Amino acid sequence: MRRVKRELDRLGVLLRTDVAGASLTTFGSGGEAAVVAYPKSVSELKALLLFFEKEGVRYRVLGAGSNVLFPDEGYRGVILRLDSLNAFSVVGSSVTVGAGLPMPVFARKCREARLSGAEYAEGIPGKIGGAVCMNAAAFGMGVSDSLRSVDILLDGEKMTLPSSALKMEYHRGGIPAGALVLSAVFDLQEGEEGHIAEKMRELARKRAATQPFGRSAGSVFRRVGEKPAALYIEETGLKGRVVGGAELSTKHCNFIVNRGGAKTEDFFVLAEEVRRAVKERTGVTLEYETERILC
Ligand SMILES: Cc1cc2nc3c(=O)[nH]c(=O)nc-3n(C[C@H](O)[C@H](O)[C@H](O)COP(=O)(O)OP(=O)(O)OC[C@H]3O[C@@H](n4cnc5c(N)ncnc54)[C@H](O)[C@@H]3O)c2cc1C
């Protein structure tokens, strides 16, 4: 890793070392990341990736870490954060947004620009890059409703893909494997700021009424067809079950919350218990929505 740090310094890339994994994800578990790198531009990112490829350095890009669990053993490669690629610009009713912009900021900026269609983003704690990869959605609105195109970096080449070229489906953005999302263009509709603000407040009220506060990774399991996973979990009677620092939320049983000091292992031991119970009662195998990063 010393060699990697030297090269990052030489390239002028902002970096942090021995970073607590807990600070890189919303669930807040896991060991240390040896290096976290924050490229300031696409050209800096390209230079970094070239070096990683040449030297066989492992890396992983993370947004806000709101859909992932960090390994308890730590991560010995480089975590890439594209926070600096956070530009926001408007032309007519289209907006171009950098991968590093947080979803709630995206929603607010669209409201200020009197553009409707991004209200759902306010309560999603991810960033644009992660949201495009996950085809994030809430209360019947989502990324795929307004995404026009996405700029990606793949095999060292920057390219633009129209959304029609992506196989977007429920919580899957269809981004090619190994590609990094740099920015996205959304086609929105002109609206009235007061109406947009009211819609955002309404969605925030719904979220507060149905989802737990505190640290989580959002929904643990994917929907089963059109049926929410929570309906299956409800029947197991496991609501409130605790493993180490992880608790199956009593408010929304497809959420696991960190009661303090939870390990990633606690999360998955509990989640596996839920999966087994659902399988035994209904024959359905729940599929994970939350992703486990391997060390
Ligand atoms: C309290 C809470 C509520 C939530 N509510 C919702 C909801 O209503 N709807 C919903 O859809 N989701 C929800 N989520 C889940 C999560 O916020 C979304 O999936 C979000 O889009 C993930 O974005 P992120 O930036 O945190 O991605 P991360 O978790 O950091 O990454 C997710 C995946 O995308 C990859 N990735 C991230 N950025 C890039 C990039 N620039 N290029 C290539 N790959 C990248 C990562 O490697 C990883 O595989 C919720 C989560 C929490 C904690």
User: Of the residues 23, 62, 289, which should be mutated to test ligand 1's pocket, given the most ligand atoms within 8 Å of the CB?
Assistant: 62
CATH number for the domain including 286? 3.90.78.10
Residue-level pLDDT at 72: 97
- Least confident span in 12-16, 66-70, 131-135, 239-243: 12-16
User: Per-residue pLDDT tens for 140-160?
Assistant: 999 999 999 999 999 999 999
Residue-level pLDDT at 47: 94
| The ligand 1 atom nearest the CA atom of 132 | 21
| Enclosing domain of residue 225 | 212-292
| The ligand 1 atom nearest the CA atom of 217 | 53
Answer whether residue 201 is part of any domain. no
Answer whether residue 8 is part of any domain. yes
Name the burial class of residue 6, with classes exposed (0-12), middle (13-18) and buried (19+) by CB atoms within 10 angstroms of its CB.
exposed
Nearest-CA residue for atom 45 of ligand 1:
130
Determine what percent of the chain is predicted with pLDDT higher than 70.
100
Compute the distance between CA of residue 253 and CA of residue 250 in angstroms, rounded to an integer.
Answer: 6
pLDDT reading at 3 higher than 90: no
Average pLDDT over residues 84-96: 98
State which amino acid sits at residue 67.
N
The answer on 248 and 191 residing in a single domain is: no
Residue-level pLDDT at 199: 97
Answer whether residue 200 is part of any domain. no
**1 falls in which pLDDT band (50, 70, 90)?**
confident
Does the beta carbon of 64 sit less than 6 angstroms from any atom of ligand 1?
A: yes
| The ligand 1 atom nearest the CA atom of 125 | 17
Does the beta carbon of 216 sit less than 6 angstroms from any atom of ligand 1?
A: yes
Does the beta carbon of 66 sit less than 6 angstroms from any atom of ligand 1?
A: yes
Average pLDDT over residues 275-286: 97
Compute the distance between CA of residue 74 and CA of residue 76 in angstroms, rounded to an integer.
Answer: 6
Boundary of a domain, candidates 195, 224, 245: 195
Residue-level pLDDT at 295: 85
| The ligand 1 atom nearest the CA atom of 171 | 11
**b or e along 184-222 (b: 16 or more beta carbons within 10 Å of the residue's beta carbon)?**
bbbbbeebeeeebeebbeebeeeeeeebbebbbbbbbbb
Predicted structure pTM score: 0.96
- Sequence-separated (6 or more) residues with CB below 8 Å from residue 22: 28, 29, 30, 70
Does the beta carbon of 153 sit less than 6 angstroms from any atom of ligand 1?
A: no
Domain count, the chain: 3
Boundary of a domain, candidates 81, 100, 120: 81
User: Per-residue pLDDT tens for 167-193?
Assistant: 999 999 999 999 999 999 999 999 999
pLDDT reading at 2 higher than 90: no
Residue-level pLDDT at 53: 94
Nearest-CA residue for atom 52 of ligand 1:
218
Task: Indicate the helix (H) or strand (E) that contains 218.
Answer: strand 215-219
State which amino acid sits at residue 7.
E
Among 294, 242, 245, 249, which Cα is nearest to 273's?
242
User: Per-residue pLDDT tens for 210-233?
Assistant: 999 999 999 999 999 999 999 999
Compute the distance between CA of residue 172 and CA of residue 239 in angstroms, rounded to an integer.
Answer: 27
| Stated length of the chain | 295
The answer on 100 and 166 residing in a single domain is: yes
Compute the distance between CA of residue 119 and CA of residue 104 in angstroms, rounded to an integer.
Answer: 9
The answer on 65 and 42 residing in a single domain is: yes
Boundary of a domain, candidates 23, 55, 81: 81
Residue-level pLDDT at 248: 98
Compute the distance between CA of residue 113 and CA of residue 146 in angstroms, rounded to an integer.
Answer: 16
Answer whether residue 207 is part of any domain. no
